[in-house]
């Protein structure tokens, strides 16, 4: 079963799903997601991030079901397939995979939080403060970020996360580009999991996300993977 789960995950897209309702699966906004789980008594809400991410702050009532481990299969197997189930992660990629797996398992009504916790935070919605859960670390503030880029002639900001596949693919491309610029461009990497306050202030809803600052001014930005050809045009 584990081998089947891993092979199916690889076959599924690593990007956030943006398709309309299909086979009982729907992507919904943060506010729609909140209203749906508040009005649904079944409370089958799955947080498919890692346990550490879950402890750092989660939607009230959610069940930890890490998509990268056997926990997901175990939790999903205990749910009622005839009742609605709601899934989310940090930016929507892992939860999209989880939602499609749930549909393949026979769940009839599956809702995926488009943009994940990043979108949830951007909408200023609350995370759980249940007893025993550690409060989420705010990390870098917007003011601290602005101080960090001040005075730099040209700097690329790479917003990423350790679990993000596309981020890992993009990282060596960025590093090679910056190295070839021989000091003319600086690269700063920021983990959105460790800096939720900054991610919220910038309304980051998907990663990888890149920004280019020249003399402290934002001159370019990009969401998703980008090739060396595009970087050479900067």
Whether residues 70 and 162 share a domain: the answer is: no
- Do strands 25-28 and 110-113 pair parallel, antiparallel, or not at all (unpaired)? parallel
Domain final residue pick, 60, 94, 122: 122
Domain that holds residue 27: 2-122
Whether residues 15 and 63 share a domain: the answer is: yes
Whether residues 9 and 95 share a domain: the answer is: yes
CATH at 61: 3.40.250.10
| 131 in any annotated domain | no
Domain final residue pick, 67, 92, 122: 122
CB-based contacts of 32: which residues, under 8 Å, 6+ apart? none
Q: pLDDT at residue 73 above 50?
A: yes
**What digits encode the pLDDT tens for the residues 187-222?**
999 999 888 889 989 999 899 999 999 999 999 999
Closest CA to 196 of 231, 233, 168, 159: 159
With b for 16 or more beta-carbon neighbours within 10 A and e for fewer, the 43-54 pattern comes to: ebbbbbbbeebb
Q: Could you please report the per-residue DSSP string of 46-104?
A: EE-S-HHHHHT---TT-EE--TTSHHHHHHHHTS-TTS-EEEE-SSSHHHHHHHHHHHH
What is the pLDDT, as a whole number, of residue 2? 45
Domain total in the chain: 2
Strand order in the sheet with 45-47: 25-28, 110-113, 85-88, 45-47, 63-64
Whether residues 9 and 101 share a domain: the answer is: yes
DSSP alpha helices (H): ranges in 125-195? 142-149, 165-180
The DSSP call for residue 190 is E
Whether residues 101 and 147 share a domain: the answer is: no
| Confidence label for 131 from pLDDT (cuts 50, 70 and 90) | very low
Residue % of the chain over a pLDDT of 70: 85
Q: pLDDT at residue 133 above 60?
A: no
Ranges 60-69, 106-115, 152-161: which has the least confidence: 60-69
> Cα dist. 115→15, 31, 64, 76, 172 in Å?
10, 11, 18, 22, 25
CB-based contacts of 92: which residues, under 8 Å, 6+ apart? 16, 17, 27, 112, 113, 114, 115, 116, 119, 205, 206
Mean pLDDT of 60-76: 88
Active site residues: 164, 167
Whether residues 194 and 92 share a domain: the answer is: no
What is the pLDDT, as a whole number, of residue 130? 64
| 127 in any annotated domain | no
Q: What is the CA radius of gyration of the chain?
A: 19
Q: pLDDT at residue 6 above 60?
A: no
What is the pLDDT, as a whole number, of residue 22? 52
| 136 in any annotated domain | no
CATH at 146: 3.40.30.10
Q: pLDDT at residue 137 above 70?
A: no
Q: pLDDT at residue 225 above 50?
A: yes
**What digits encode the pLDDT tens for the residues 142-161?**
888 998 898 899 999 999 99
What is the pLDDT, as a whole number, of residue 144? 85
Whether residues 146 and 186 share a domain: the answer is: yes
| 172 in any annotated domain | yes
**Contact in structure between 205 and 187 (CB atoms under 8 Å):** no
d(CA 101, CA 5): 8
Domain final residue pick, 122, 155, 174: 122
What is the pLDDT, as a whole number, of residue 195? 86
| 199 in any annotated domain | yes
Closest CA to 98 of 83, 81, 110: 110
What is the pLDDT, as a whole number, of residue 129? 56
d(CA 202, CA 117): 14
Whether residues 12 and 116 share a domain: the answer is: yes
């Amino acid at each position: 079963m584990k081998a089947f789960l891993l092979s199916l995950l690889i076959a599924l897209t690593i990007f956030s799903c943006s398709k309309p309702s299909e086979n009982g699966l729907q992507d919904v906004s943060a506010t729609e997601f909140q209203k749906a789980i508040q009005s649904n008594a079944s409370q089958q809400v799955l947080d498919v991030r890692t346990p550490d991410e879950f402890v750092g702050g989660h939607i009230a009532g959610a069940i930890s079901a890490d998509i990268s481990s056997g926990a997901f299969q175990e939790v999903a197997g205990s749910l009622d397939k005839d009742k609605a189930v709601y899934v989310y992660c940090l930016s929507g990629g892992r939860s999209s995979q989880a939602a499609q797996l749930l549909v393949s398992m026979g769940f009839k009504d599956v809702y995926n939080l488009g943009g994940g916790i990043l979108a949830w935070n951007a909408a200023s919605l609350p995370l759980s403060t249940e007893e025993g859960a550690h409060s989420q670390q705010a990390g870098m503030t917007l003011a601290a970020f602005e101080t960090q880029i001040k005075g730099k002639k040209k700097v690329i900001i790479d917003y990423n996360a350790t679990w993000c596949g596309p981020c890992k693919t993009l990282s060596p491309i960025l590093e090679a580009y910056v190295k070839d610029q021989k000091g003319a461009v600086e690269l700063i990497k920021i983990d959105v999991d460790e800096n939720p306050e900054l991610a919220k202030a910038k309304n980051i809803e998907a990663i990888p996300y890149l920004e280019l600052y020249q003399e402290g001014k934002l001159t370019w930005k990009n969401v998703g993977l980008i090739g060396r050809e595009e970087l050479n045009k900067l």
